[in-house]
Structure 1
Amino acid sequence: MTKPPRITTRQPKLEPKRSNRARPVSDLLPDVGRAAFRKFGFVQHAVVSRWAEIVGERYARVSSPESIRFPKGERSEGVLHLVVTGAYAPMMQHISPEIIDRVNRFFGYTAVGKLQIRHGEVRRRAVTPPLPELKPISEEMGESLRGIADPELKAVLEALASGVASAIPKLGRID
């Protein structure tokens, strides 16, 4: 006896339940930017903005991270591409193990395995002006900021709080 051919029907995918809560765009469109970022070797913004903290002011003046390229399907042991000014390239090549170590410490895992150096002009980043002199923040606000570990974020929040506190008397009051 031969069995009749087996007929299978695919079940339609169920749509996720709708909710009225706000969701990040990255959840809604996860693959939109992936190809473009991969093509251009997107470097995490924090690496670029904190390059001086990672490698030190001396080396940050003569180098700039350009991209990190990972092996296909991997997120570790990538190649960090640096742009280095003029004759500083041999020095940067000499200290490349230390740079790799510092970048990996910044990421918290072995993100970079190799360093590739390219001669070029390093654009000087505009130095952010110091924050204006503001009134001291209230004790209550100071207490709420104690739990923040990131000093940069804490300074920005303190400046915001004191700016708001100094603007309140100017607004006037309607009784």
Structure 2
Amino acid sequence: MSRKPLPSPSADHRMRGFEPAFGLMKDAVRSAGESRGFAVARLLTHWAETVGEEMARKTRPVKIGYGKGGMGATLTLLVRAAEAPMVQMALPQLKDRVNAVYGYSAISHIHLTQTAATGFAEGQAEFTPAPKPAKHPDPALTAQAQAVAEGVTDPSLRSALEQLAQNILTRPRN
């Protein structure tokens, strides 16, 4: 007779006190994304960060269709008809940015679906994040973050490293 395996300790484990809200709904978001072909839900929830603010205003990811071999998926995007030619020209860069989220060349084609000039369907969920409250960073932490990226000559890389250092330094400790 075989016995049922015990549930994993993390399945029933609850944190003391408050839990982050996303922790309560991450399984629902993952299953909703996977039902539309999105193996990485981050592509939906962080679309503006993935493709840039300007491109995110013009496009919305709808689904990912996989071929019979499993490799070479097709990403379907909604785009306004007037902006479709500009988006079409930016498809190679867009594909590179989306594949960077996956970590490999998961997307081989991007299919554009044009919508009416009035915009995207009103009944769909909006995935734009809430605006972040304006914070005034601690000058000591800012100085530490700048010290971390001090030797970097590229301004955009230095800025990214400073932001990463500030995020790590201000992260709540458990």
TM-score (norm 2): 0.55
Q: 1:131 to 1:156 in 2, by over 3 A?
A: farther
Match of 2:99 among 101, 104, 125: 104
Larger radius of gyration: 1
Q: Name the % identity.
A: 27
Q: Return structure 1 stretches of 4+ with deviation > 4 angstroms.
A: 33-39, 131-138, 151-154
Q: 1:23 to 1:86 in 2, by over 3 A?
A: same
Which residue of 2 is the match for residue 22 of structure 1?
Answer: 9
5+ residue gaps, structure 1:
1-11, 26-32, 162-175
1:46 aligns with 2:42: yes
Query: Partners in 1 of 2:33 and 2:127 — Cα distance?
Result: 24
Q: 1:43 to 1:64 in 2, by over 3 A?
A: farther
Question: Alpha carbon RMSD of aligned pairs, Å?
Answer: 4.1
TM-score (norm 1): 0.54
Which residue of 2 is the match for residue 81 of structure 1?
Answer: 76
Aligned residues: 134
Q: 1:56 to 1:87 in 2, by over 3 A?
A: same
Which residue of 1 is the match for residue 17 of structure 2?
Answer: none
Decide which structure has greater helix share.
2
Where do residues 1-175 of structure 1 align in structure 2 (5 Å cutoff)?
13=2, 15-16=4-5, 18=6, 22-24=9-11, 39-42=35-38, 44-72=40-68, 74=70, 76-120=71-115, 121-122=119-120, 125=128, 127-133=130-136, 155=167, 158=170, 160=172
Query: Partners in 2 of 1:125 and 1:69 — Cα distance?
Result: 23
